[in-house]
Structure 1
Amino acid sequence: MKKILAILFLLLVVAGCSKEPTPEERLSEYIALWNKQKFDKMYDYLSKDAKQTITEEEFTTRYQKIYEDLQINDLKIDFKKPKKDKKAEKEASYSFTAKMNSIAGAIQFTHKARLQEEERDKKKNWYVDWDTEYIFPELKEGDTIGLSTVAPKRGEILDRDGDGLAVNGQVYEVGVVAGDLDAAVLESLSSLLKIPKEQINKALGASWVKPGLFVPLRKVSMDEQERIAQLIALEPVQTRKVGARVYPYGEAAASLVGYVGPITADELEKRKDKGYTSQDVIGKRGLEQVLDEQLKGTSGVKIVIKKKGAETGAAGETGGSESETGETAASQKDVVLAEKPVTDGKDVKLTIDADVQAAVYAELSGGSGSSAAGEGGADGTAAGTGQTGGAGETGTAAVMNPVTGETLALVSSPSFDPNQAALGMSADEWKALQEDKQQPLLTRFKQAYAPGSVMKPLTAAIGLANGAIKPEEAVPILGKQWQKDQSWGGYFVTRVHVGTEPVNLERALVYSDNIYFAQAALKMGKGPFADGLKKFGFEEEIPYTYPLEKSVTGALGSDIALADSGYGQGQVQMSIVHLLASYTPFVSGNGGNMMKPVLLVDEEKGQVWKEAVVSPANADLIAADLRKVVGDAAGTAHSAEMAGYPLAGKTGTAEMKQKQGEAGVENGWFIAYNTDSPSLMVAMMVEGVQGRGGSGIPVKLVKNIFEKIK
């Protein structure tokens, strides 16, 4: 009996080992590999007939290329195995569904898989009778897959009144008709377009170029009419109008707005998961870069199966005409697999007043500025702007409504031409900009600088709050220089106005007395002084659309550092936007609150950034003193006094030097606002004012701005 059972068990084992896989099992295995995109392994499951039509390399490469080009992801091939295996003899067929996402959206289809039984190496098994319709049902042998994109319209950057700061306009594309190019013409063309002759010859020698074809070389602004006239006077040169990004206010708003250019490989790598492609144009600087994702929009994408008959014409394929074989011709039409509509970028409307922006830039740069965009023409081409980097003053200026927090102007000088940058500069032009000692590519309004004496009202507010300063107390300060004690060695705090009378807070602000505020900072102590500055927003990111450097208190590691910081020297630094915000507590109606600066029209106006930074009583006290800085004949900003337009403000001169006793570079500051109608506050910093007027330079320029825009 045991022997019989053993024989039966052995027979069962042998029978189990020799059992052929069912077609359902084989298809399940094939689909499992497909879901993992193991195309080389899938090839092993193909029938002999299928393998005669495509090699393993072709099969694998085709799947990989299609899936990569179409950015196929979330692939799910689903085959529901029947409850009962079919009794198949030589052939079997089953339905399966395919779902996937692509660059153009979801793709889904149902198809029938055909399997046939074959004997290989004396073993029978089931193999997939594959053809191209397994990739996509409409994809027949000889068909190709096409991918087309529609670029979105980039959102425009507008000022508060809807005037364009960055718009979609037109420029001239300059090129030549391919053929023999005279050496003299080549020389002139190279000079006028500012591109090397070798670059022109390389463009004309491209593989696609044939005699008589237009070969584009460079885009030129429509404003450059004289240059265009000289170019088209050269016989093979032609121009055509093409769409381009245009900056109507040119240099005046370049640092604020920035410009666009073709995406680089490095930029694409960083943005590959955000829908960017190698064909995109992206923001390179300024708000074009900061708000690029909002401005860019999303490309429209269409995936099409291009039918073999449709490429050569249906009539040619079938041997008849469309009217004779309408059904056949219709069947050859391209098939849309998936389509994602284009989504244009969103416009951005700023609180900036373009006329104020142009006026401030013209004053700081020494140029004529730029008037309304309409000067450039209805198509949005660039209007002329005054000087290009190099003339005028080096520095920054900003204008804000101190009650609402709206930014009306953000200026950096010298500047650059964003139109030229967007159209493409030559290597020599870029090199000249980058090596310019005045740094026209530096966005100065985002930088933090030593504020000098414009920080004294903040020191006053902190000292009043903690009792270190008593406004009527007369501090006996004699002479031009002072030091705490002999431990300071040869270091002294120096003041400009030398008097013999004791100094109270009002006189200290009117005369801008460094010694008074140095002593006040020491009296407060490092901790209370630093904490007071932090209440004004130092050492934190400013919540602002345009990224700004943090304002910092510095180390305050010694009595000398603390004393110097009390009057805006030492290591304390702040940006010009933060400076504007820090003066808003002194403005009538703000109640000592520090208002949040805003740059976008749709942001809430009149937001309080820091509540009760200064008590209302102390705010009124300091505001009255700031009025005397301008109104008092002895005030450091008295030259800004205007009849019927009462300004309050503060001057400052920050000196940068390695050690005491040597001459340093000085930056001059002035910030002012109208006390009766506080809708405008202007701040300016001018670099290198030593030996030529100090803070008197920005005082004069700011006064001119108020006279223009008040």
Structure 2
Amino acid sequence: MGVVYTNRNRKKYIAIGGLVAIVVIVAVVLFFLLSGNNNESTLKNFYAQISEKKYEDMYNSLSSESQKSYDQQTFVERNQNIYEGIEASNFQIEVTDETDNELTYNVKMNTIAGEVTFENKTTIEDGKIVWDDSFIFPDLTQNDRVRVSEDEAIRGQILDRNGKMLAGQGEAYSVGLVRGKLNGENDYDQLAELLGLTKESIQKTMSASWIQDDSFVPLTTIPSTDTQLENQLLQIPGVQLNTVEVRTYPYGEVTSHLTGYMQQVTAEDLEKHQGEGYTETSMIGRSGIEAAYEKQLKGTNGATISIVDENGSTKSTVATQEKQDGQDITLTIDIDLQRDLYNAFDEDQSASVAMNPTNGEVLALVSTPSFDSNDFIYGFSTEEWDDLNNDEDQPLTNRFRATWVPGSTMKAITAAIGLETDSLDASKDFGAEMKWQKDSSWGDYFVTTLHAPNPNNLRNALIYSDNVYFAKAALEIGKDNLEKGYKSLMIGEDIPFELALTKSQYTSDSFDDEILIADSGYGQGQILMNPVQMTSIYSSFMNDGKMMTPHVVKSTETSVWAEPFSKETTDEIKSDLIQVVEDNNGTAHALNNSQYQLAAKTGTGEIKDSQDDTTGTELGWLSVASTDSSKPIVITTMVEDVKGRGGSNYVVNGVKQPLMSYLQK
């Protein structure tokens, strides 16, 4: 019996047949789409392996025919040398066409010579790359080489305000040996002694497999100015001196804490500054201006990537980047003043800051004792490095960055806060007392002073530097007004400056103790001051109450850091500080002269375990300013361990010559 089809069944089978056809069509489309995606994914994965430097994995991604043409070692070495030689990174691949498993695509990557882009083609067979040298660059063949030519940027100079070089290009000698000209073991002994190296290290260097008898083998670098060492070295057969360019610091120790120094990069530096043009042999700024302005000073090396044939002739240029020499950094420093202040205290542990009070320009920034930045260029022997680090005077310590007990230089600040908050009457006589305590609740603690003037008003208290007066004044001003004043002076805030400075500080909690409030009035409380900030505060006395933002890099822009005092307040303080110099009893009277009117305050910061401790040390301070508006300057100097050496008078006598020389220049 045959099957009878009704009209309804026929429609059903037609519908099923149509569904099957759609499924087949979709499957075919998906096959081709997925095939295309797989090819593109294969290509991009291959470039990802380049980025990750997985050269063996790259070789395993090649088609069998490609592997017959290139053995693994040859392939790995060639790709590694080229991609790492051009410093390839950040690959971006865009497939623009695919026909019969042949992909047309655009490549974009970063290189040592800048961004490189090109169009290329490759074929994918069974998920494998059909590879030849044109995959790297379309013009590259198996017999060609990729050449990288670098043009090193010249590092920018560091200059003083008058264009005198503080750091820049200089010449030195690369000391090396020509092995074939050596006489014998004695030459190694003599050379090691002259260069501060070990005989064993020289012999190890000279035993490298690449060295021929006529090869020049560099050992170290020495200053070209050391003619005695130069002559001694040239007496040794086989020694050769080649002139090389190096970073040089003409003023040595005078500016080293300011300019900083450079050192060869470390592995950590290379990782941190990846892609910024540093190599294993690069130098990098490690401290001071060299570090703070590394990016601007460094510049950008130029480079050219080219393809050359087996005869060394250039076939094509892949990319070229012109070098950009580093920027010169001009400082506000006056090198003559810098040198004079350094020489005045080079045997001491000190910090000196000179500033133009009208615009915040730092004219000198000195820390003694110091080191020589040039030594970091030429290198240290182990013994020299140990000596530098273990020196009890700590020449590597930057003292203008630190904070110190301010002593009596705080007295003018205490007075200004009192006047500004209307909590201190400048004419009030507090009564002359050599030894004082508020009441018996202070136990056996007394404030003492060396001089108790009569009348005991503000001006005389500043002239004679009376501790008792300012202890009483601090209590009269009160905790709240003192804290308000300290905050207005930005004490406890970060100091806006190109170089990192330790911020000044006071301990607010200590103000619950009346003794500490009293001690703070004359700079012996829980207060530590940075010399740069102290100079800024004293600058406000010469600038109608405005503290200008301190800066050491020259700029046409200036700004006000704070306005803690009115002109009325600063006029009073300035007038009193002038008398500290001009009055015969003034603690800074040694600065008095017939040419220039000066205003100053001395200070002695005591560092001891208790009031009765006689074994502690003393810091000597001086802040001095010229009142001549045509020659505005404030200098603050702090010297450690002045006990038994004249105290703050030692500092006064040291600053006098540098200040007068600057004013007379």
Q: TM-score, normalised by structure 1?
A: 0.84
Percent identity between the two aligned chains: 38
Residue 508 of structure 1 is matched in structure 2 by 461
Residue 134 of structure 1 is matched in structure 2 by 135
Q: 1:576 to 1:615 in 2, by over 3 A?
A: same
Q: 1:206 to 1:483 in 2, by over 3 A?
A: farther
For the 8 Å contact 1:478–1:498, the answer to whether it is kept is yes
Q: Which deviations, in whole Å up to 9, do the C-alpha atoms of 1:173-218 show, x marking residues without a partner?
A: 2222214453333232222211222222222222322212222222
For the 8 Å contact 2:351–2:400, the answer to whether it is kept is yes
From 68, 87, 106, give the equivalent of 2:115. Answer: 106
Pairing 1:662-677 to 2, within 5 Å after superposition: 662-663=613-614, 664-677=616-629
Shift of 1:561: 2.3
Secondary structure, counterpart of 2:496 in structure 1: coil
Q: 1:100 to 1:23 in 2, by over 3 A?
A: farther
Letter matched to residue 582 of structure 1:
I
Residue 487 of structure 1 is matched in structure 2 by 441
Q: Which deviations, in whole Å up to 9, do the C-alpha atoms of 1:329-375 show, x marking residues without a partner?
A: xxx6343222222111000111111111111111111xxxxxxxxxx
From 524, 532, 538, give the equivalent of 2:485. Answer: 532
Secondary structure, counterpart of 1:634 in structure 2: coil
Task: Say yes or no: does 1:435 pair with 2:390.
Answer: yes
Shift of 1:63: 5.7
For the 8 Å contact 2:356–2:539, the answer to whether it is kept is no
Shift of 1:20: 11
- RMSD across aligned C-alpha pairs, in angstroms? 3.0
Shift of 1:235: 2.5
Residue 77 of structure 1 is matched in structure 2 by 93
Shift of 1:47: 4.4
From 427, 434, 450, give the equivalent of 1:496. Answer: 450
Residue 53 of structure 1 is matched in structure 2 by 69
Q: 1:610 to 1:210 in 2, by over 3 A?
A: same
Mapped to 1, the partners of 2:419 and 2:27 lie a distance apart of 97
**Greater Cα shift, 71-80 or 617-626:** 71-80
Letter matched to residue 341 of structure 1:
E
Q: 1:616 to 1:236 in 2, by over 3 A?
A: same
Q: Name the count of aligned residue pairs.
A: 642
Task: Say yes or no: does 1:352 pair with 2:333.
Answer: yes
For the 8 Å contact 1:133–1:139, the answer to whether it is kept is yes
Secondary structure, counterpart of 1:153 in structure 2: coil
Residue 170 of structure 1 is matched in structure 2 by 171
For the 8 Å contact 2:97–2:104, the answer to whether it is kept is no
Q: Which deviations, in whole Å up to 9, do the C-alpha atoms of 1:92-121 show, x marking residues without a partner?
A: 7553332333332222222333467xxxxx
Task: Say yes or no: does 1:30 pair with 2:39.
Answer: yes
Q: 1:168 to 1:662 in 2, by over 3 A?
A: same
From 704, 707, 710, give the equivalent of 2:657. Answer: 704
For the 8 Å contact 2:452–2:464, the answer to whether it is kept is no
Shift of 1:630: 1.1
Residue 53 of structure 2 is matched in structure 1 by none
Letter matched to residue 694 of structure 1:
G
Shift of 1:57: 8.3
Q: 1:23 to 1:645 in 2, by over 3 A?
A: same
Residue 563 of structure 1 is matched in structure 2 by 518
Q: 1:141 to 1:9 in 2, by over 3 A?
A: farther
Letter matched to residue 102 of structure 1:
T
Q: Which deviations, in whole Å up to 9, do the C-alpha atoms of 1:616-673 show, x marking residues without a partner?
A: 1221111111011111111111122122222210000001112221121111011112
Q: 1:94 to 1:604 in 2, by over 3 A?
A: closer
For the 8 Å contact 1:656–1:666, the answer to whether it is kept is yes
Residue 207 of structure 1 is matched in structure 2 by 209
From 674, 685, 690, give the equivalent of 2:638. Answer: 685
Q: 1:54 to 1:436 in 2, by over 3 A?
A: same
Secondary structure, counterpart of 1:463 in structure 2: helix
Mapped to 2, the partners of 1:513 and 1:572 lie a distance apart of 19
Letter matched to residue 258 of structure 1:
G
Shift of 1:80: 3.5
Residue 327 of structure 1 is matched in structure 2 by none
Letter matched to residue 566 of structure 1:
G
Mapped to 2, the partners of 1:635 and 1:201 lie a distance apart of 67
Mapped to 2, the partners of 1:559 and 1:461 lie a distance apart of 20
Secondary structure, counterpart of 1:136 in structure 2: coil
Q: 1:21 to 1:131 in 2, by over 3 A?
A: farther
Letter matched to residue 637 of structure 1:
A
Q: TM-score, normalised by structure 2?
A: 0.89
For the 8 Å contact 2:618–2:641, the answer to whether it is kept is yes
Mapped to 2, the partners of 1:519 and 1:45 lie a distance apart of 86
Shift of 1:45: 7.3
For the 8 Å contact 2:96–2:106, the answer to whether it is kept is no
Mapped to 2, the partners of 1:10 and 1:241 lie a distance apart of 85
Mapped to 1, the partners of 2:242 and 2:459 lie a distance apart of 66
Task: Say yes or no: does 1:624 pair with 2:575.
Answer: yes
Residue 245 of structure 2 is matched in structure 1 by 243
Residue 377 of structure 1 is matched in structure 2 by none
Mind listing any 5+ residue stretches in structure 1 that lack a counterpart? 117-124, 312-331, 366-391
Secondary structure, counterpart of 1:445 in structure 2: coil
From 622, 633, 636, give the equivalent of 2:584. Answer: 633
Mapped to 2, the partners of 1:107 and 1:183 lie a distance apart of 53
For the 8 Å contact 2:483–2:508, the answer to whether it is kept is no
From 576, 601, 611, give the equivalent of 2:554. Answer: 601
Q: 1:273 to 1:101 in 2, by over 3 A?
A: closer
From 418, 431, 435, give the equivalent of 1:463. Answer: 418
For the 8 Å contact 2:306–2:314, the answer to whether it is kept is no
